[in-house]
Amino acid sequence: MYESSVVQYFTEKALEQGIEQGIEQGIEQGIERGGRERAVEDLLDVLEIRFALAASDPLAARLGAIDDVQSLKQLFRAAIQVPSLEAFRHLLDKAE
């Protein structure tokens, strides 16, 4: 009987840790996804304001498919500085 309660204790502790780790991973993934989505939105806003980029433009879908937040941040900075939408498209083509 003693052995089974010890096994049960460690089993419960392992489950608790697994659940806690799962929750932490879920939170981290949510924060990362939110940051990525925000970066895409900001980038599209700049392109819309500067160059009247339509939400239906294929470029918007290409940008939405980028997963790397650092790449999106670099593209955001570039979108602020490029002289034209074509220059931005060219830059994006080179980055891919």
> Which residues have C-beta within 8 Å of that of residue 80, sequence separation ≥ 6?
46, 50
pLDDT the model gives residue 2: 52
**Inter-residue contact 93 to 61 (CB < 8 Å):** no
Q: Which two tokens stand for residue 40?
A: 């895409």
Task: Yes or no: say if 63 and 27 are a contact pair by the CB < 8 Å rule.
Answer: no
Residue indicated by tokens 């433009």: 57
pLDDT of residue 10: 67
Which ranges of the chain have pLDDT less than 50?
A: 1
Query: Taking the domains of the chain in order of start, what are their residue ranges?
Result: 2-95
Model pTM above 0.75: no
- pLDDT for 3: 57
Q: What is the pLDDT of residue 19?
A: 76
For residue range 70-85, list pLDDT tens digits in order.
999 999 999 999 999 9
